[in-house]
Amino acid sequence: EVQLVESGGGLVQPGGSLRLSCAASGFTFSNNWMSWFRQAPGKGLEWVANIKQDGSDKPYLDSVKGRFTISRDNTKNSLYLQMNSLRGEDTAVYYCARLVGTRSRDAFDIWGQGTMVTVSS
């Protein structure tokens, strides 16, 4: 079964750090771009970051640039999001997702169940 499972969420104080993980199974992880999205409580979806198959390209949402780092370990079929200098506005459910397809025919077809990050004192 093709699956993504996130972990690592929790309660953290403003200015703190957290590392999210996303374990992939059921497909060849190294073949796909991967992404992180988030959804603040009661709000819409927001794209956070992407990472190319070999990790060589990592675009970010401006509001997280310099604070968040996306990475992957293809030997462990895992995606990560290191979050530093966390702010209240980073409070959200964080989802990892797989990007499939080719340019102009691509989409996020598999999503994890999400992990909640709460930034509060």
Partner 1 sequence: AIQMTQSPSSLSASVGDRVTITCRASQDIRNDLGWYQQKPGTAPKLLIFAASSLQSGVPSRFSGSGSGTDFTLTISSLQPEDFATYYCLQDYNYPFTFGGGTKVEIK
Give the span between the Cα atoms of 14 and 81, in whole angstroms. 17
**Span near partner 1 by CB under 8 A; candidates 14-22, 66-74, 82-90, 108-116:** 108-116
Strands 10-12 and 115-119: parallel
Size of the site for partner 1 (CB under 8 A): 21
In the numeric block, the tokens 């949402």 are attached to 61
Q: How far is the CB of 85 from partner 1 (least distance, A)?
A: 19
Give the span between the Cα atoms of 105 and 120, in whole angstroms. 40
Q: How far is the CB of 108 from partner 1 (least distance, A)?
A: 6
**Span near partner 1 by CB under 8 A; candidates 10-18, 20-28, 67-75, 104-112:** 104-112
User: Cα 77 to the chain's mean position, in Å?
Assistant: 14
Binding partner 1 by CB under 8 A: which of 75, 89, 105, 121? 105
**27 is an interface residue for partner 1 by CB under 8 A:** no
Nearest to 49 by CA among 83, 18, 16: 83
Binders of partner 1 in range 49-88 (CB under 8 A): 50, 59, 61-62
User: Cα 51 to the chain's mean position, in Å?
Assistant: 9
Binding partner 1 by CB under 8 A: which of 27, 47, 69, 84? 47
Binding partner 1 by CB under 8 A: which of 21, 111, 116, 118? 111
Contact 105, 113 (CB under 8 A): no
